Amino acid sequence: MSDATTPTADRVTVVDHPLAGHLLAGLRDTETEPERFRYLTHRLASVLVLEATRDMQTRAGTVTTPLAPADVRVLDGNLIAVPILRAGLGLLTAVTGLLPDVQVGYVGLERDEETLQPVSYYLKVPPLDDRLVLLLDPMLATGGSASFAANLMRDRGATNLTLVCVVAAPEGIDRLAADHPTLRIVTAGVDERLNEVGYIVPGLGDFGDRLFGTFDGA
């Protein structure tokens, strides 16, 4: 895995592992059906979460092997995962699969039709002080929702925030760099731009619809 950065932010990690690229290719493909899309999402999220937790705190311990005691390092249990509903749920199972003891919070956002700004309709998180908080949101487009969610986390004591996303747009990276300069972004790809309606290009379409099969109002 690489710590390559974009020119617009020095806290962006693009995971350039060959497996990440292969999985992302499947997610981009318009022919990928929801069942396989969910499978690929889980696999790619696992790769991203491994990178996002590279610097997690550990503590010394001792275990007994079949032959002798062994000095070991074990996780210190200081991680909280917070998916941004609903698409962020697609990344959560990878976190809980890798880290069964993780604590989980949830934030639900929607757009105010008058102001066009994000508002929270649901928020439930454990104490965030002195914890690594993984915000899970597959698509970083304009950055408005991610920035708003990060503000909610900081208002509740979070100081160590990482956004895990599948694809990011330069506009979203710039927004987070301006609003939250200490926030880290871990992603599988930085795409070209946003189109006139705010979709990432080339992107992979509406992640939530493709994940849950909710097309054409279904």
Catalytic residues: 111, 115, 206, 209
Is omega for the bond preceding 131 within 30 degrees of 0, making it cis?
no
Asked if 14 contacts 6 with a C-beta cutoff of 8 angstroms, the reply is yes
- Cβ-based neighbours of 83, under 8 Å, separated by 6 or more: 89, 91, 92, 104, 106, 107, 136, 137
Give the model's pLDDT for residue 116. Answer: 62
Contacts of 30 (CB under 8 A, 6+ apart): 205
Alpha-carbon distance 132 to 149, whole Å?
A: 15
Architecture of domain 12-57+76-212: 3-Layer(aba) Sandwich (3.40)
Of 48, 57, 12, the C-alpha closest to 169 is 12
Hey, which bits of 18-57 come out as E strands? none
Report the C-alpha dihedral over residues 193, 199, 200, 206, rounded to 10 degrees: 180
- Between CA 83 and CA 92 the distance in angstroms is 7
Q: What is the pLDDT of residues 45-69, one digit of tens each?
A: 999 999 999 988 889 999 999 999 9
pLDDT of 215 reads: 66
In angstroms and rounded to an integer, the radius of gyration of the C-alpha atoms of the chain is: 18
* 15: nearest Cα among 57, 49, 56, 55: 49
d(CA 156, CA 198): 29
Burial of 139 per CB tally in 10 Å (0-12, 13-18, 19+): buried
- Inter-residue contact 38 to 211 (CB < 8 Å): yes
* pLDDT recorded at residue 154: 95
- pTM summary value: 0.89
- Taking 70 as the pLDDT cut, the residues of the chain under it are 1-9, 113-114, 116, 215-218
From 109, 86, 104, 93, select the one nearest 38 (Cα to Cα).
93
At residue 217, the pLDDT reads 43
